[in-house]
């Protein structure tokens, strides 16, 4: 996933975080997306949630990016609980790991944790709705073979 960080492009600069204070990055991996968001918006604080054996990678990268003093790292399991009190909840390249039923369970946990005003920021590769070639299709097969997940179209996300 670290090698595929180019998916983030200029997201940190283009998304509007001006009304936010706390970003809860659900299953934030090595912290790449969160470090970009915090670097681009110095008023923000970050709360990455990750598994215990992965959080050290986030600590290292966030420290290298010089934003660790604005972070509170949380170890946990998103099927059991997600930190509350955030304003934006990125869910980056998480749903594509799971089948629809598990995705619904993860999204339910997000909904339980998120304050009324908070926003969910789903970051995924979108396969085209037609037959045109796209990198997302290779990822679709990759996710299916390795973790039983899938890439979903914009229409699929919109219908949920």
- Angle at the Cα of 7 (from 3 to 13), degrees rounded to 5? 120
22: three-class secondary structure by DSSP? strand
Among 36, 70, 93, 152, binds ligand SAM (CB under 6 A): 93
Nearest distance in Å: CB 36, ligand SAM = 11
Q: Which of 128, 111, 130 is nearest to 120 (CA)?
A: 111
Among 54, 65, 74, 122, binds ligand SAM (CB under 6 A): 54
Among 78, 86, 114, 136, binds ligand SAM (CB under 6 A): 78
Binding to ligand SAM by residue 51, rule CB under 6 A? yes
- Residues of span 111-140 touching ligand SAM by CB under 6 A: none
The answer to whether 142 is a known catalytic residue is: no
With respect to ligand SAM, which residue has the nearer C-beta, 8 or 45?
A: 8
- Strand ranges of the sheet holding 45-50, from the earlier edge strand across to the other edge: 74-75, 45-50, 22-26, 88-92, 119-123
């Amino acid at each position: 996933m670290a090698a595929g960080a180019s998916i983030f492009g200029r997201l940190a600069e283009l998304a509007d975080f001006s009304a936010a204070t706390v970003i809860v990055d659900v299953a934030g991996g090595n912290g790449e997306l969160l470090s970009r968001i915090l670097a681009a918006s110095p008023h923000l604080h970050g709360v990455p949630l990750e598994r215990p054996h992965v959080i050290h990678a986030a600590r290292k990268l966030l420290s290298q990016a010089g934003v660790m003093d604005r972070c509170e790292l949380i170890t946990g399991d998103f099927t059991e609980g997600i930190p509350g009190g955030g304003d934006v909840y990125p869910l980056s390249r998480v749903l594509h790991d799971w089948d629809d039923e598990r995705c619904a369970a993860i999204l339910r946990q997000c909904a339980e944790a998120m304050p009324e005003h908070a926003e969910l920021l789903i970051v995924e590769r979108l396969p085209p709705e037609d037959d045109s070639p796209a990198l997302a299709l290779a990822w679709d097969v990759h996710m299916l073979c390795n973790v039983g997940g899938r890439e979903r179209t914009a229409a699929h996300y919109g219908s949920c």
